[in-house]
Amino acid sequence: MALSYSDIINPSSKHHTYSRKQKSLGLLCTNFLTLYNRDDIDVIGLDEAASKLGVERRRIYDIVNVLESVGVLARKAKNKYSWKGFAAVPKALQELKEEGLRDNVNAIDKQSNNSAKVVDDDEDEDDDSDSNPNTGSQNENYGIIKSTAASRADHRREKSLGLLTRNFVKLFVCSNANLISLDESAKLLLGDGHNSSIMRTKVRRLYDIANVLSSLKLIEKTHAADTRKPAFRWLGLRGKSENGSGDLESRKRTFGADVTNICFKRSKLDSSVDGDKSQSLKMQKQIKDEKIVTVAERGNADQDSQQNSGSFQFGPFAPVSMAKVGNSEEEVTQIYDWEGLSSTFRPQYHNQALRDLFFHYTEAWKSWYTEVAGKKPLHIS
DNA sequence: GTCTCCCGCCATCAT
DNA sequence: ATGATGGCGGGAGAC
């Protein structure tokens, strides 16, 4: 049910009715990136972005928080973000990885020094009288940020989309997990002692995050091979176009691929955007015309940090200043590097459940690797 | 039906 | 006080 290009060019022909695809966060993010992924961009004003993209501010906050978490943007002042671009992503991912692994080690140390009170900082967050009792068990010790909840501000921050994004990304970069189901990521990020309402809310947030990260080609949305459960596959710096055509998700609701955000509201009249439609259509055409070229570097921490190497690409929005490089052979070569990395960076879970889960992920990865790369699985465990 | 996730209310923070 | 930020969950479109 993907819209054709002619639909985009002439949206009025078919879209008199509301279509939520046209309003998706992923698409909005795509447009945002199209608008700002340029060398001459330095500072981005949120109001300006909102009006140019024809959306309300609130949506810009959603995007900006996720983009900031992966280094594409940095908050500069009220209403202002500086554009760091995709070149900053490898460093941001590397930092997340280091942070995650460091926290992992700290958690283990802490536990070994405190044998009588195992991971009792799980309760830290619960001592706020109005806190949510279900967030307390989250994060365990595999490197996900866990603040001390010293203040209400911290408490609020703990729930932020930005932090959730960082933690979500850490799930991938701190392990070699390549495919994580929605269920599992929700449980990992929120803890298992949840009630369904809290879980539902957080899953909504995961969708939000996933849509933006998909737009960045850092992940792709897919399904677990066995269960068909929704799942996220980490593309990371690899994020190459599969089959070279970029249509890997065409059969499903896609993220940031085909239409403009600027159109119909679900339940209220859209008052602001007529003047922006042509601009948005131009952006769409530009998106279509871009080549999607990315290079595999997944799992290679050293290469991750080499942001100036010029050897990576991000989805359809390669930094203007960067040469496009990449071929499948290079990808295969780099994929082999996983093996060494798996031993170097494998998280040391002291929690049996997490160990089991990690084992599950590595198995899933092996399975995927075997299928996609046509190779024998690496002996990761 | 369930799955997705847009939307905007409104609490909280910053100025 | 006012504007900026963003958590949150209702509810509707997509499947």
In a domain, A381, yes or no: no
Residue A198 pLDDT grade (very low, low, confident, very high; cuts 50, 70, 90): confident
Q: How far does Cα A336 stand from its chain's mean position?
A: 24
Residue A73 pLDDT grade (very low, low, confident, very high; cuts 50, 70, 90): very high
**In sequence order, what are the beta bridge partners of A180?**
A232
* Greater pLDDT, A159 or A145: A159
In a domain, A378, yes or no: no
If you average pLDDT over each of A247-251, A370-374, A377-381, which comes out highest? A370-374
Residue A61 has a pLDDT of: 92
- Which residue's CA lies closest to nucleotide B11 at its C1' atom? A156
Q: Which residues touch strand B (CB under 7 A)?
A: A 18, 20, 23-26, 55-56, 58-59, 77-78, 151-153, 156, 182, 200, 203-204, 207-208, 210-211, 221, 230, 253, 255, 265-268
In a domain, A269, yes or no: yes
Tens-digit pLDDT profile for residues A166-186: 999 999 998 878 889 888 888
Residue A290 CA and nucleotide C9 C1' are separated, in Å, by: 37
User: Is the CB of A21 less than 7 A from some atom of nucleic acid strand C?
Assistant: yes
* Greater pLDDT, A174 or A159: A174
Residue A91 CA and nucleotide C10 C1' are separated, in Å, by: 39
Tens-digit pLDDT profile for residues A311-325: 344 444 444 333 333
- Which residue's CA lies closest to nucleotide C8 at its C1' atom? A201
For residues A206 and A182, is the Cβ–Cβ distance under 8 A?
yes
Query: For chain A, what percentages of helix, strand and coil (3-state, to nearest 5) are there?
Result: 50, 5, 45
Residue A92 pLDDT grade (very low, low, confident, very high; cuts 50, 70, 90): very high
* Tally of domains in chain A: 1
Residues 154-173 of A with CB under 7 A from strand C: 156-157, 159-162
Residue A196 pLDDT grade (very low, low, confident, very high; cuts 50, 70, 90): confident
Residue A41 has a pLDDT of: 87
What is the distance between the alpha carbons of residues A320 and A39, in angstroms, rounded to a whole number?
Answer: 6
- Give yes or no for residue A281 having a pLDDT over 50: no
Residue A83 pLDDT grade (very low, low, confident, very high; cuts 50, 70, 90): very high
In a domain, A355, yes or no: yes
What is the distance between the alpha carbons of residues A275 and A26, in angstroms, rounded to a whole number?
Answer: 22
Report, as an integer, the average pLDDT of A151-166: 76
* Greater pLDDT, A379 or A192: A192
To which H or E segment does residue A28 belong?
A: helix A25-36
Lowest mean pLDDT among A37-41, A73-77, A212-216, A304-308: A304-308
Report, as an integer, the average pLDDT of A113-135: 36
User: Is the CB of A18 less than 7 A from some atom of nucleic acid strand C?
Assistant: yes
Residue A320 has a pLDDT of: 39
> What are the b/e assignments for A174-193, b being 16+ CB within 10 Å?
bbbbbbbbbebbbbbbbbee
Which nucleotides of chain C does any protein CB come within 7 A of? Answer: 4-15
If you average pLDDT over each of A227-241, A243-257, A272-286, A303-317, which comes out highest? A227-241
User: Is the CB of A57 less than 7 A from some atom of nucleic acid strand C?
Assistant: yes
User: Is the CB of A376 less than 7 A from some atom of nucleic acid strand C?
Assistant: no
- Give yes or no for residue A152 having a pLDDT over 70: no
- Give yes or no for residue A29 having a pLDDT over 90: yes
In a domain, A347, yes or no: yes
Residue A355 has a pLDDT of: 52
> What is the domain range of residue A23?
5-373
Residue A256 CA and nucleotide B8 C1' are separated, in Å, by: 22
- Which residue's CA lies closest to nucleotide B4 at its C1' atom? A207
Residue A82 CA and nucleotide B14 C1' are separated, in Å, by: 19
Which nucleotides of chain B does any protein CB come within 7 A of? Answer: 3-10, 12-15
Residue A168 has a pLDDT of: 92
In a domain, A254, yes or no: yes
What is the distance between the alpha carbons of residues A63 and A53, in angstroms, rounded to a whole number?
Answer: 12
Contacts of A54 (CB under 8 A, 6+ apart): A260, A261, A262, A270, A272, A273, A276, A277, A280
Arithmetic mean of pLDDT over chain A: 62
- Which residue's CA lies closest to nucleotide B14 at its C1' atom? A78
- Give yes or no for residue A189 having a pLDDT over 90: no
Query: How far are the Cα atoms of A36, A37, A114, A210, A277 from residue A59, in angstroms, in the given order?
Result: 16, 19, 44, 15, 18
Residue A17 has a pLDDT of: 61
- Which residue's CA lies closest to nucleotide C6 at its C1' atom? A61
| Angle, vertex CA A20, rays to CA A17 and CA A21, nearest 5 | 110
Residue A20 has a pLDDT of: 78
The pair of three-digit structure tokens given for residue A371, joined into one six-digit string: 């299928």
Residue A210 pLDDT grade (very low, low, confident, very high; cuts 50, 70, 90): very high
In a domain, A380, yes or no: no
Residues 62-101 of A with CB under 7 A from strand C: 64-65, 78-79
